[in-house]
């Protein structure tokens, strides 16, 4: 109780990613929200923007260059679009802060990998802090816990990528599926697209509507193939489909791969449980489990359902997360806990809200 709290600045505080980390930090025993920064809505209090925070967090929102936002903090979250963190993380690091960035800016540890990613997105491939690449770590604790513990700069994974990587990692590590055969059929709730209104997320357009989008490529493939390739020890290619559903929170990714040899569901479950161990945020379940996105809503859990179609020789994994939690702010908090030597589930040990 008496120990010093981690002093935290949140940049991009008014988006769903910023709100998510604020909500979680308010319930964290060792954290103190010290400064909120956002380009829009600066000058208001955060509880003006999100009335449900009234009485819990009434801090002012500062513009990025406001004098009040220039102090030294222990940790800075960049819950910002691509190209903000790469411009501004350095000065935070130089002031002694650790940095967790939500965007693609620090999810790649080589310039080549970043250029490939930015090019696929049709964006400026010119990274503004190339020298920081290599000092950063990909923030998925289940795969990189030890490096994250030592890192000052962490790139928080994408939401789709999180569900795909966690769902296929043990299979790739054990080399039980063919490395070019993986298919990621991903369905996301609308909150994954952020807070800004757009025609396709206007209520009357989205109600009763599920659709696939950007079929010719999606940026998350880069992260997925890189991480799975590291585990496999060789090149991995995935076919990726992004789909949006008329729900708010939740990603359900159905993942397929061609089995190298005939295996039973139990064989695969054992491989998965050995990989993840007990007590973490990944729960490995048999094909009879009655789980869905509501099972993980508002939690940091990833539920992984294992199924084998021996008739066709396919492995099928259903990987379920809350896109705003394990897919974003929850994983960011988990990274914070690892970086600061705290119990990994500090501030995340809640069972969710149901129904």
DSSP per-residue codes, 278-289:
SSSSEEEE-TT-
> Closer to a second copy at the Cβ: 91 or 202?
202
138 Cβ neighbours under 8 A, 6+ residues apart: 107, 109, 144, 154, 155, 157, 223, 227
The distance of closest approach from Cβ of residue 124 to a second copy in the complex, given in angstroms and rounded to an integer, is 23
Look up 159 and say whether it is catalytic: yes
CB of 28 to a second copy, least distance (A): 13
Handedness of CA 324, 330, 332, 333 (dihedral sign): positive
> Of 19 and 231, which has the nearer Cβ to a second copy?
19
Provide, rounded to whole angstroms, the least separation between the CB of residue 2 and a second copy.
Answer: 13
Q: How far apart are CA 336 and CA 331, in angstroms?
A: 9
Are 78 and 89 a contacting pair, CB within 8 Å?
yes
CB of 330 to a second copy, least distance (A): 12
Distance, CA of 223 to CA of 184 (rounded, Å): 13
Q: Which is nearer to a second copy, 123 or 198 (CB)?
A: 198
Between 99 and 236, whose beta carbon lies closer to a second copy? Answer: 236
We find the least distance from the C-beta atom of residue 302 to a second copy, in angstroms, to be 13
Of 136, 162, 140, the closest CA to residue 127 belongs to: 136
68 versus 205: smaller Cβ distance to a second copy = 205
Nearer to a second copy, 11 or 306 (CB): 306
Task: Take residue 108 and report the two structure tokens written for it.
Answer: 């790649």
For residue 12, the tally of other CB atoms under 10 A from its CB is 26
d(CA 236, CA 164): 13
Strand order in the sheet with 302-309: 211-213, 238-244, 182-188, 251-258, 314-321, 302-309, 282-285
Name the DSSP letter for residue 200: G
Q: Which is nearer to a second copy, 135 or 312 (CB)?
A: 312
- Catalytic residue, candidates 35, 57, 159, 164: 159
CB of 106 to a second copy, least distance (A): 25
| C-alpha–C-alpha distance, residues 272 and 269, integer Å | 5
CB of 156 to a second copy, least distance (A): 19
Distance, in Å, from the CA atom of 232 to the CA atom of 247, rounded to the nearest integer, reads 34
Cα–Cα distance measured from residue 296 to residue 47, given in angstroms and rounded to the nearest whole number:
27
Angle CA(39)–CA(40)–CA(46) in degrees, nearest 5? 105
Cis peptide before 355 (omega within 30 of 0): yes
Instruction: Catalogue the active-site residues.
Output: 159
């Amino acid at each position: 109780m008496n120990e010093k709290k981690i002093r935290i600045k949140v940049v991009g505080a008014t988006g769903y990613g910023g709100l998510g980390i604020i909500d979680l930090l308010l319930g964290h025993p060792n954290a103190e929200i010290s400064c909120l920064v956002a380009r829009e809505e600066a000058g208001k209090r955060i509880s003006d923007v999100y009335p449900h925070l009234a009485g819990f967090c009434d801090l002012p929102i500062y513009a990025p260059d406001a004098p009040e936002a220039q102090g030294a903090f222990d940790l800075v979250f960049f819950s910002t679009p691509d190209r903000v963190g790469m411009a501004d993380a350095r000065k935070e690091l130089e002031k002694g802060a650790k940095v967790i960035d939500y965007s693609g800016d620090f999810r790649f540890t080589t310039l080549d990998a970043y250029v490939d990613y930015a090019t696929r997105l049709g964006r400026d491939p010119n990274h503004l802090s190339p020298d920081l690449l290599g000092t950063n770590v990909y923030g998925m604790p289940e795969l990189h816990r030890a490096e994250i513990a030592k890192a000052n700069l962490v790139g928080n994974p994408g939401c789709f990528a999180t569900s795909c990587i966690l769902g296929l990692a043990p299979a790739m590590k054990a080399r039980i599926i063919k490395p070019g055969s993986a298919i990621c059929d991903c369905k996301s709730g609308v909150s994954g697209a952020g807070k800004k209104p757009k025609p396709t997320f206007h209520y009357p357009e989205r109600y009763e509507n599920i659709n696939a989008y950007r079929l010719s490529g999606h940026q998350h493939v880069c992260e997925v193939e890189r991480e799975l390739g590291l585990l496999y020890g060789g090149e991995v290619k995935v076919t990726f489909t992004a789909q949006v559903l008329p729900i708010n929170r939740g990603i359900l990714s159905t993942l397929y791969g061609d089995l190298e040899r005939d295996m039973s569901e139990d064989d695969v479950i054992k491989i998965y449980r050995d990989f993840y161990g007990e007590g973490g945020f990944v729960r490995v379940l048999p094909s009879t489990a009655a789980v869905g996105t509501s099972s993980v809503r508002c939690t940091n859990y990833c539920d992984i359902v294992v199924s084998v179609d021996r008739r066709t020789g396919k492995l099928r994994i259903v990987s379920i997360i809350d896109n705003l939690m394990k897919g974003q702010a929850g994983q960011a908090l988990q990274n914070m806990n690892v970086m600061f030597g705290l119990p990994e589930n500090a501030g995340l040990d809640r069972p969710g809200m149901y129904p």
